[in-house]
Amino acid sequence: MRPINIYALTRLSDPVRLSRLERQMSARKNHLKIKSWETEGLKRFSEKLCAVSEETTELDYYYSFVMPKLGKEFDLLRINEDSIINIELKSGNVTDEAIRYQLLQNRYYLSTLSKTMYFYTYVSGTDRLVRLTGSGRLVDAGWAELCDLLLRQGDSYHGDIEDLFQEEKYLISPLTDPDRFLRQEYFLTFQQRDIKKQILKNVSSPTIQGFTGFPGTGKTILLYDIAMQLSRRDCVCVFHLGSHTAELEQLDERLKRIDFYYCDDETIPTIHKKYNAILVDEGHRLSRRMLEDILALRDRWQAPVIISYDREDLLALSERAECGADILEVLPDFIHYRLTNHIRRSSELSAFIRCVIRTGEAGANKNRSYPSVSLSYAADQSETAHLLRIYQKEGYTYIRNSATGLADPAIDSEMTTEISDAACKEFASVVMLLDASFFYDESGYLRQKNMAADLPAAISSDRISQSAVRNLFHGLSRAKERIAIVVSENLPVFDTLLSFLH
């Protein structure tokens, strides 16, 4: 999206023509729906500046820019190497507190650019211009002041503004980048913030609440953000049901206000301390016994319980077994929320994963292109290992599926992660293996044959009991940018996957 000359744009008054012209000027992907009052307000703003200095008619602005993934919108932005000028447009009937709140939010979201920032709002209905001070107060401003600021800023950035807002600057995982999480260098989406607000309304009593969503919707960062806020005034504990990672140990060591407990062997550890809030990460791993233990702690401490968990509705019933989502959502007093916006993963990768798990899944568009997906075929174990090494050299992390997997010492161990260790983490590029045990059933679900009789005795029964399809789903969902799949000795599955990419 490019900046546009709003003086040239507002020589039109018809919203439909203006929208078509704006798209041509800005090169945005879709038509912008512009209402008549917005057209009038933008025109009045331009003419107010022009009345002070005709030079302002030459200035370009990014108009109605929305931050990728987060959905945060800005009416007008000018950006150069040193500064940002943000101007919001209102028609009227807006309080000073609402204006101040919006400008403070804008300052929060634009802070990742590390530039000097200026924030204004023009209310066309009352012909009023206001400014946000450095201390966060709202004061009346003059047009000569704003004109001088705009002209002194000089040339604005003219590239694609989305390039300035790369998601790694503001979307992080606490377990992938604990340092940035502890420095609070992250943002929540509006949906996350709304769910957080609803949850915090209900923590004064021993409620049990939870939120779910597909992998990549930001459950972990939301849970840990809530834990951070609650720990400012209460003693808080987090039960972590995923892998015991060095990053989590770092959080445990540095977050003195929060106590972490690792739950192994389907048991909740014995606790001799009282907490005012209980949080559970990876709640889909809960067993009935673990949930009963948590509810007993809730009743004993009269503390609220907050749980993040996955739903696995994409998987065939026989591949899911019983998971925490099933036993949580039937509780009569369970309050649940659903995250729907993918913030870590692109819509392209999300659509492809849905196709892989179930060929007929609604929303899995098999007619779209998948430029970020790579598919390879191996005729034997030697070729399989060689292909995996090639992908690792290209920067892919091989997530070994613990229910199948390839044991080959030639594979780069530093670029290999067990599926049990990948939970809550994210990787730029992921490669995974589909071997001869996978097949698609008559309903289009990806399944795995019962391979227990063929597995070596060294593989334990608990590994056999894990669903390879479930592991594949969660492993592929760890990818942010690229996915690769190596199909080994399984032409029918390869042909099906190739049909999606063709």
Please provide the DSSP assignment of 80-93 as one string. Answer: -SSEEEEEEEE-S-
At 126, give phi and psi (nearest 5°): -115, 5
Torsion sign over Cα 299, 301, 302, 307: negative
Question: So what's the pLDDT on residue 376?
Answer: 95
Q: How many CB atoms lie within 10 A of CB 295?
A: 16
Question: So what's the pLDDT on residue 70?
Answer: 77
pTM: 0.68
The neighbouring-strand residues paired with 140 are 130
CA distance 304 to 295: 10
CA distance 441 to 358: 9
- From 325, 295, 332, 291, select the one nearest 308 (Cα to Cα): 325
Question: So what's the pLDDT on residue 454?
Answer: 43
CATH number for the segment(s) 347-501: 3.40.50
Q: Where are the alpha helices (DSSP H) in 311-360?
A: 317-320, 324-328, 347-357
Q: Where are the alpha helices (DSSP H) in 154-189?
A: 178-182
pLDDT in tens, 24-49: 898 888 888 887 778 888 999 999 99
The neighbouring-strand residues paired with 279 are 238, 306
Instruction: Name residues whose C-beta falls within 8 Å of residue 12's C-beta, 6 or more positions apart in sequence.
Output: 18, 21, 39
CA distance 245 to 417: 12
Instruction: Tell me whether the CATH fold assigned to 178-338 matches the one assigned to 347-501.
Output: yes
CA distance 115 to 482: 31
Q: Give the full edge-to-edge strand order of the sheet including 305-309.
A: 258-262, 236-240, 277-281, 305-309, 208-212, 334-338
DSSP secondary structure letters along 275-295: -SEEEEESGGG--HHHHHHHH
The neighbouring-strand residues paired with 210 are 307, 336
Q: How many CB atoms lie within 10 A of CB 96?
A: 13
Rounded to 5°, angle at Cα 159 from 157 and 161? 85
Burial (CB count within 10 angstroms: exposed 0-12, middle 13-18, buried 19+), residue 423: buried
Please state the CATH superfamily assignment of the domain spanning residues 178-338 in this structure: P-loop containing nucleotide triphosphate hydrolases (3.40.50.300)
Rounded to 5°, angle at Cα 121 from 120 and 125? 155
Question: So what's the pLDDT on residue 118?
Answer: 97
Q: What is the domain partition of the chain in residue ranges?
A: 4-165, 178-338, 347-501
CA distance 457 to 466: 16
Question: So what's the pLDDT on residue 410?
Answer: 58
Q: How many CB atoms lie within 10 A of CB 440?
A: 17
Tokens representing residue 501 in the block: 């990419």
Instruction: Name residues whose C-beta falls within 8 Å of residue 381's C-beta, 6 or more positions apart in sequence.
Output: 406, 408, 488
Instruction: Name residues whose C-beta falls within 8 Å of residue 73's C-beta, 6 or more positions apart in sequence.
Output: 64, 65, 66, 67
C-beta of residue 331 within 8 angstroms of C-beta of residue 205: no
Question: So what's the pLDDT on residue 228?
Answer: 92
Q: Where are the alpha helices (DSSP H) in 231-278?
A: 246-254
Torsion sign over Cα 406, 407, 411, 416: positive
In tens digits, the chain (502 residues) has pLDDT values of 899 999 999 888 888 888 889 888 988 888 888 877 788 889 999 999 999 999 999 999 999 998 877 778 999 999 999 999 999 999 888 899 999 999 998 998 898 888 999 999 999 999 999 999 999 999 999 999 999 999 999 888 888 888 888 766 667 778 778 888 888 878 888 889 899 999 999 999 999 999 998 777 889 899 999 999 999 888 999 998 876 667 777 787 888 789 988 887 678 888 989 999 999 998 888 889 999 999 999 999 999 999 999 877 677 776 665 677 888 999 999 999 998 766 655 678 888 998 999 886 644 555 678 899 999 999 999 999 999 999 999 999 999 886 665 555 457 777 888 887 787 678 889 999 999 999 999 989 999 886 444 444 333 333 334 588 988 988 998 898 899 999 999 999 999 999 988 6
- From 246, 232, 239, 146, select the one nearest 184 (Cα to Cα): 232
